[in-house]
Chain A
Amino acid sequence: MKERRVSKMACLILILVFAFAVVACGGESSDGSPSAEAVVKAVSSPLIHEEAGEVSYGRTRAQWREQGFEIASAGPIAWAADTFVASSIHSDRLSETVREQIEQNGKDGAIGLYDELDWAEYEIEVEQTGLYELLIDFFALKGSFGPIQIGVQIDGHYPYKEAKSIGLNRTWKDGSFPLAKDENGNDIRSVQEEVEGWQSVVVADSGAAYAEPLLWLLQEGTHRLRIQTIYDPVLISRLAFSAPTETLSYAEQAGTPVGDKATKGDWYTLIEAERMWRKSDSSLQMSASMDELASPKSKGKIVFNTIGGDRWKRGGQWAEWQFEVPEDGYYQIHLKYSQGYRTDAAVFRNIMLNGQYPFREMQTYPFDYTHNWKLETLGSGSGEDYLFYMKAGLNTLRMEATYAPLQGILESMQAAVSQIQTLNREVRLVTGVRDPLLGDANRDWNLLLYLPDIVERYEGLIRQLEMQLEGLESLYGRKISSSDGIRSGITDLKKLKANPNLLPKRPEMLASIQETLSGFMTELREQPLDLDLILIAQPEAKLPDVIPNWSERLGNTIKGFFHTFSSEYSYYGREDEEAITVWVNRGRDYVNLLQQMVDEQFTPETGIKVNINLMPNSQQLILSHAAGREPDGALGIDPGTIVDFAMRNAAVDLGRFPDYEEAAGDYSPGMRVQLYYNGGNYGLPETVSPNMMFVRDDLFQALGIEPPQTWSDVYAILPDLQQRGYDFFYSHTNYLPFVFQNGAEFFTADGMRSGLDTPEGFAAFKQWTDLFKVFGFPREVPNFYMHFRNGDMPIGISDFNTYLQLLVAAPEIAGLWSVYPIPGMEKEGTVARWAGGAIQGGMIFKTSERQEETWQFMKWWASEEVQSRYGNEIELLNGTEFRWNTANVQALKRLPWPKEDAVAIFEQMSWFKEMPIVPGFYFTPRELNFAWNRSVLSDENYRESLEASILEINREMRRKLHEFGLVDEQGNRLRSLEIPQVNEKWEGRDEP
């Protein structure tokens, strides 16, 4: 009932929004004043968000309903996949494993879509107009570890936004049960195995935003259907449009279970939630509760005994359990769960039995907020416990994360956001104020003259937001604290409504409402839930006591306190006396996998044992070195620290090992320059996070502009972007690309002075600060990723983490954005795209007595083979968000990248160059940021500002050089540091 009311309300809101938009557009042109008319003309360019293929399924579905389209009732229209009328398939670039897979699993009538944007088109004959479901039989070929994404077009266009990226999930399972244990009795995560096989699915939204599968409107007649891959290769054998079957409600179900024989009986079975039989995602992982309250108890060890939390919150992620029941009949299902993530709010799961909804109530079943473990018996919420019919033998239970009940609210919130964006843009066009920091307080505007309907528009927004609040309250049955943001937004809107001319003075007001709404929307989409046990029981069964009572909870707290004194509490890894010890500054998952690989491969091959130990903080290296307890080697260290050790004569020059060049060949000179000091190479790079440019292709296409190749291109497209209220994101601390692209260097070639004291250096500084002073780039952007998703910053330069975030956590824009190498400066026909990025590397300590063996380990670790295996396995274990951004370019190529992204990333990697590290290097970023501050915030002349900084940098460098004996008391050079000069694009060890 509740759901129905919500969806009704959502429809109402949608209709209102639509009507409102019409009124708003109509209202503007009726104004008489000439200047206002000009403004209106300028802004009445269609809202980009509203263009075809940009409308969401929910809205499209509502429109169809309004237009009177019914759910189809005709029989299915099915066809084999190889009956296409046109296609772009070419199978020439298949990998060996995929070929093998096709040979083994190919089917009659199956076709393969291998490359990104491969497509096949079908002609289908429809006899009855109506809404159909789309069924696909597919086989997931080896690609990345994420879902396969396809797009579905009907008659040359996408019927709605969701059709642009439909996820076909791979099926996964944990490789082994029981789990292996390490020498301390802690569980080790199991290998993830993909379950290969043909799957037959009804196409649904990839984020499970809707409880039902997606429907497709087919009018009577002939249609062309195009299936197109977006990520990852897939085999398709059969497609069908069929009439959706309606799921009955519990009450409507045939055959009430009363009096049935099987309703008696006291059998029950208990399933540990972490023993998933199948799952949709290798990153849906078991987790360790670290307490005695979950089952099985952890007893001070790491025992994986629950699933959920952050690893099970994205819509569409499902887990499935298999169990056996003794006889045909009715059973109850009890779940031991806790949900302490959404205060006062519920999270939702779709629950399926043997692949189907037993009845409608199992769609979007709510799990209420509870901080402690709670036993939920699946029921109506008003005391009636549901009975589920199961046949004797094996059954499966599936739970899928979903936010479908919130979709209506989310959509109208999105509508409110885009209305705010439009309004903001229009006001900017009137006042010409772009930068919120430049609002002119002493100038009054009569906004009503230019935007006569502005008050009504505020009213509309307020109404919408209030309805969303009500919707949330009726959904959850109470006010939720996280919606306070909306309430403050409403207050602000009311203020603006009362005084419309406030906005030009306080241009940031609307922007901040928009930000709050966007943040809240992300939160609503996440549905985290912890699950410990599943009980399948006959109705009269006496259930075991699985919920800890207060004395157990107290006992757990006390035990937990005493466990903190045990040596295992902060277990950092094995301490074998005979082994070399390597400290790793990364998370426990990384450390465990590395230790595992060393034991499996490195130690048997070389006979060298290695202790891989976790180091929570790299500062520990300095302190432990002072105490004489440093390890033999360390990994995950930033180059600054490595060279700090090198300067102080505590690191081993790896270049003196004869096979150094061989090992370092896969790493670009632009990376190695950061690990170089005074003639020695003191580390090997491990990971690198290069700068990349992210572009929303859809918005750029709509604007008719191309992604920029050079900075002049950037300046050229800026007006197009800014006119429409879009911004370009560039971090204000990222000075490096300008320095290198202008041909300046941070230090002179002998490493004795700042190299910025050149015409090129000043040009670079001016170019960098001008972005913010002249070109109006936003100065402070707390979250580019959010802005990029919302579309108000359709372009920006950011690092590898943003790439992963977008790849993993932004399914709604999958396929709509691309990465490019960053803009550069054109010189003699080529575009020099120099840029840097954070590096981590490994080093060996001079005090180690086993440097040779440690070097063996380093070399093994840095090799292409090991890096690519490690990258693949860490991703397999933990999901795409753990993609290993190895600095080994050869290994990087063997990770599962989307092909076009790979090209861009490798192009940028060949222009990778970082700041060399010399004594006193830390002063350069510090002083440059001070200089930026003076120049941009205090409007000081750029030349004076940089000169002052260069003076300070040189002072500090001279002091430090003297400390290390490189210059004498008077500042005369005693030795040169001879920084390696990297001026050529790196083509890699061997060009692909």
Chain B
Amino acid sequence: MNATSLRHLLREMRANWLSYVFVAPFTIVFLLFIFVPTVAAIVLSFTSFNAIEPPKFVGLRNYINLLTQDTTFWMHAIPNTFKFAIIVGPIGYICSFALAWLITQLPSKSRVWYTLAMYAPSLTAGVAMAVVWIVIFSGDRLGYMNSILLELGIIQQPQLWVQDPKYLMNIMIIVSLWASMGVGFLAMLAGIQSVDKTLYEAGKIDGIKSRFQEIWYITIPSMKPQMLFGAVMAIVGTLRAGSISVELTGSNPTPQYAGHLLINHVDDYGFIRYEMGYASSISVVLLILIYATSRLCWRLFGTEGETKS
């Protein structure tokens, strides 16, 4: 029974060999660079591994420690990450949609340039960090922020924006929002443009009174896949963020853990304390978090689309 079905499967595979060739590049790359590392991380998260000696199996010890012992994780990494994600994720997402919609209202010639202008920050984040944001939030009097606020008399002395725990998180949020018009934004732009024009006409006949109703009843329902994609990208992007605090302050950990995100926590354990096992378990938790939140998005945007297709 089993043997025959296997043979049957093999025969079918041979008959469709061309299709396998076509999916092979992606499959190989996916397995090598995404699947294997993820599995390795999950396996390592059950071990104590110091990067030099062979890993030792410790069962759930890492997870127990993470949940019961790690004060920095609970006091800083988790609250910071959530604060960061809850603000940057939804606002970035809403901004992406709003901007995408606004851009589609433009004549098609200028549309390209606006799109480029919005999309560019997410590509150039690293360079822009050095030339734009560091200069703006520079701690001396010559930084733009300090200079303007001093000028207006709002502050009396230059503020150490990125060193001061009071401001660091807010600045991280602002910078991330600026750079959040990424792939999700492009997808939404494409989604809005692909909505069938006749639907709008039909809607008008059926009594839609305002543009807002148009968006709510026609645009959004017809582009749910893109909305879902954008949401997932926003969630993944914000939870994965971490380099930004290091780039702004130039140190990991940030002063008094003010900008300590989950990824920084992984770095701290992985490359300062050389506890790869523990670092892996943090990243597994992060993976679960990302998965759970993207399920939530699925709920919000995906159900109908999924069941229908």
B156 is an interface residue with CB less than 8 A from chain A: yes
- The answer on a CB contact under 8 Å between B271 and A933 is no
Whole-angstrom distance between the Cβ of B36 and the nearest chain A Cβ: 15
Quick one: which of A436, A650, A922, A960 contacts B53, CB cutoff 8 A? Answer: A650
Interface centre among B51, B165, B255, by most A CB within 10 Å? B51
Separation of A509 and B150 alpha carbons in the complex (Å): 11
Which positions 901-932 of chain A face chain B at CB distance < 8 Å? 922, 926, 929-930
- The answer on a CB contact under 8 Å between B51 and A622 is yes
Name the A residues within 8 Å of B157 (CB-CB). 436-437, 439, 508
Question: How many B residues have CB within 8 A of the partner chain?
Answer: 26
Whole-angstrom distance between the Cβ of B58 and the nearest chain A Cβ: 10
- The answer on a CB contact under 8 Å between B48 and A622 is no
Name the B residues within 8 Å of A508 (CB-CB). 141, 157-158
- The answer on a CB contact under 8 Å between B274 and A930 is no
Name the A residues within 8 Å of B156 (CB-CB). 439, 441, 505-506
B214 is an interface residue with CB less than 8 A from chain A: no
Name the A residues within 8 Å of B160 (CB-CB). 780
Separation of A324 and B145 alpha carbons in the complex (Å): 62
A626 is an interface residue with CB less than 8 A from chain B: yes
- The answer on a CB contact under 8 Å between A512 and B139 is no
Which positions 101-157 of chain B face chain A at CB distance < 8 Å? 139-142, 150, 156-157
- The answer on a CB contact under 8 Å between A622 and B52 is yes
A644 is an interface residue with CB less than 8 A from chain B: yes
Name the B residues within 8 Å of A436 (CB-CB). 157
Separation of A959 and B150 alpha carbons in the complex (Å): 47
- The answer on a CB contact under 8 Å between B52 and A506 is no
Whole-angstrom distance between the Cβ of B263 and the nearest chain A Cβ: 17
Name the B residues within 8 Å of A619 (CB-CB). 271
A648 is an interface residue with CB less than 8 A from chain B: yes
Name the B residues within 8 Å of A649 (CB-CB). 52-53
Quick one: which of A505, A512, A626, A959 contacts B142, CB cutoff 8 A? Answer: A512
- The answer on a CB contact under 8 Å between B139 and A780 is yes
Quick one: which of A509, A625, A650, A933 contacts B256, CB cutoff 8 A? Answer: A933
Separation of A437 and B141 alpha carbons in the complex (Å): 11
A466 is an interface residue with CB less than 8 A from chain B: no
Name the B residues within 8 Å of A506 (CB-CB). 141, 150, 156
Whole-angstrom distance between the Cβ of A948 and the nearest chain B Cβ: 11
- The answer on a CB contact under 8 Å between A926 and B253 is yes
Name the B residues within 8 Å of A155 (CB-CB). none
Q: From B146, which residue of chain A is reached at the shortest CB distance? A: A508
Whole-angstrom distance between the Cβ of A310 and the nearest chain B Cβ: 22
Quick one: which of B48, B52, B141, B273 contacts A626, CB cutoff 8 A? Answer: B52
Given A619-B271, A963-B275, verify A648-B255 contact (CB < 8 Å): no
B272 is an interface residue with CB less than 8 A from chain A: yes
A-contact 0/1 string along B268-285, CB 8 Å cutoff? 000111110000000000
B293 is an interface residue with CB less than 8 A from chain A: no
- The answer on a CB contact under 8 Å between A644 and B253 is no
Q: From A650, which residue of chain B is reached at the shortest CB distance? A: B52
B38 is an interface residue with CB less than 8 A from chain A: no
Separation of A921 and B65 alpha carbons in the complex (Å): 20
Separation of A626 and B50 alpha carbons in the complex (Å): 10
Separation of A437 and B272 alpha carbons in the complex (Å): 34
Question: How many A residues have CB within 8 A of the partner chain?
Answer: 31
Separation of A645 and B48 alpha carbons in the complex (Å): 16
Separation of A488 and B147 alpha carbons in the complex (Å): 12
Name the B residues within 8 Å of A959 (CB-CB). 69
Given A439-B156, A649-B53, verify A622-B256 contact (CB < 8 Å): no
Interface of A is mostly: helix
Whole-angstrom distance between the Cβ of A774 and the nearest chain B Cβ: 19
Given A508-B158, A963-B275, verify A648-B139 contact (CB < 8 Å): no
Name the A residues within 8 Å of B273 (CB-CB). 922, 960
Name the B residues within 8 Å of A437 (CB-CB). 157
B-contact 0/1 string along A958-969, CB 8 Å cutoff? 011001000000
Whole-angstrom distance between the Cβ of A955 and the nearest chain B Cβ: 8
Q: From B271, which residue of chain A is reached at the shortest CB distance? A: A619
- The answer on a CB contact under 8 Å between A645 and B141 is no
Name the B residues within 8 Å of A648 (CB-CB). 50-53, 274
Separation of A436 and B165 alpha carbons in the complex (Å): 21
Whole-angstrom distance between the Cβ of B8 and the nearest chain A Cβ: 43
A-contact 0/1 string along B234-267, CB 8 Å cutoff? 0000000000000000000101100000000000
B-contact 0/1 string along A512-524, CB 8 Å cutoff? 1000000000000
Which positions 21-62 of chain B face chain A at CB distance < 8 Å? 48, 50-53
B-contact 0/1 string along A406-429, CB 8 Å cutoff? 000000000000000000000000
B-contact 0/1 string along A612-650, CB 8 Å cutoff? 000000010010011000000000000000001100111
Separation of A926 and B254 alpha carbons in the complex (Å): 10
Name the B residues within 8 Å of A645 (CB-CB). 52
Whole-angstrom distance between the Cβ of A484 and the nearest chain B Cβ: 11
B-contact 0/1 string along A132-166, CB 8 Å cutoff? 00000000000000000000000000000000000
Q: From B157, which residue of chain A is reached at the shortest CB distance? A: A437
Name the A residues within 8 Å of B69 (CB-CB). 959
Given A441-B156, A933-B256, A963-B275, verify A625-B51 contact (CB < 8 Å): yes
Whole-angstrom distance between the Cβ of B112 and the nearest chain A Cβ: 29
Separation of A937 and B274 alpha carbons in the complex (Å): 32
Separation of A437 and B156 alpha carbons in the complex (Å): 9
- The answer on a CB contact under 8 Å between B48 and A963 is yes
Q: From A641, which residue of chain B is reached at the shortest CB distance? A: B274
Separation of A626 and B270 alpha carbons in the complex (Å): 13
Name the B residues within 8 Å of A439 (CB-CB). 156-157
Which positions 41-96 of chain B face chain A at CB distance < 8 Å? 48, 50-53, 69, 71
Name the B residues within 8 Å of A441 (CB-CB). 156
Q: From B52, which residue of chain A is reached at the shortest CB distance? A: A648
Whole-angstrom distance between the Cβ of A40 and the nearest chain B Cβ: 28
Whole-angstrom distance between the Cβ of B114 and the nearest chain A Cβ: 31
Separation of A505 and B141 alpha carbons in the complex (Å): 13
Name the A residues within 8 Å of B48 (CB-CB). 963
Interface centre among B51, B52, B160, B256, by most A CB within 10 Å? B52
Name the B residues within 8 Å of A650 (CB-CB). 52-53
- The answer on a CB contact under 8 Å between A625 and B52 is yes
Q: From A442, which residue of chain B is reached at the shortest CB distance? A: B156
Given A622-B274, A922-B272, verify A512-B52 contact (CB < 8 Å): no
- The answer on a CB contact under 8 Å between B52 and A930 is no
Separation of A926 and B142 alpha carbons in the complex (Å): 29
Whole-angstrom distance between the Cβ of A841 and the nearest chain B Cβ: 18
Name the A residues within 8 Å of B52 (CB-CB). 622, 625-626, 645, 648-650
Separation of A436 and B146 alpha carbons in the complex (Å): 14
Whole-angstrom distance between the Cβ of A650 and the nearest chain B Cβ: 5
Q: From A645, which residue of chain B is reached at the shortest CB distance? A: B52
- The answer on a CB contact under 8 Å between B274 and A644 is yes
Whole-angstrom distance between the Cβ of A925 and the nearest chain B Cβ: 11
Whole-angstrom distance between the Cβ of B2 and the nearest chain A Cβ: 41
Separation of A644 and B270 alpha carbons in the complex (Å): 13
Name the B residues within 8 Å of A963 (CB-CB). 48, 50, 275
Separation of A645 and B53 alpha carbons in the complex (Å): 10
- The answer on a CB contact under 8 Å between B53 and A930 is no
Which positions 557-583 of chain A face chain B at CB distance < 8 Å? none
Whole-angstrom distance between the Cβ of A506 and the nearest chain B Cβ: 7
Name the A residues within 8 Å of B253 (CB-CB). 926
- Chosen A-B contacts, 15 in total, with CB atoms closer than 8 Å, are A437-B157, A441-B156, A505-B156, A508-B157, A508-B158, A512-B142, A622-B51, A625-B52, A626-B52, A650-B52, A780-B160, A933-B165, A933-B256, A937-B164, A960-B273
Please give me the 3 A-B residue pairs with the lowest Cβ-Cβ distance, nearest first.
A441-B156, A648-B52, A650-B52
Which residues of B approach A to under 8 Å, CB–CB? Answer: 48, 50-53, 69, 71, 139-142, 150, 156-158, 160, 164-165, 253, 255-256, 271-275
Known: A644-B274, A929-B255. 18 other contacts (CB 8 A): A437-B157, A439-B156, A506-B141, A506-B150, A512-B140, A512-B142, A622-B274, A625-B51, A648-B51, A649-B52, A930-B255, A933-B165, A933-B256, A937-B164, A955-B71, A959-B69, A960-B273, A963-B48
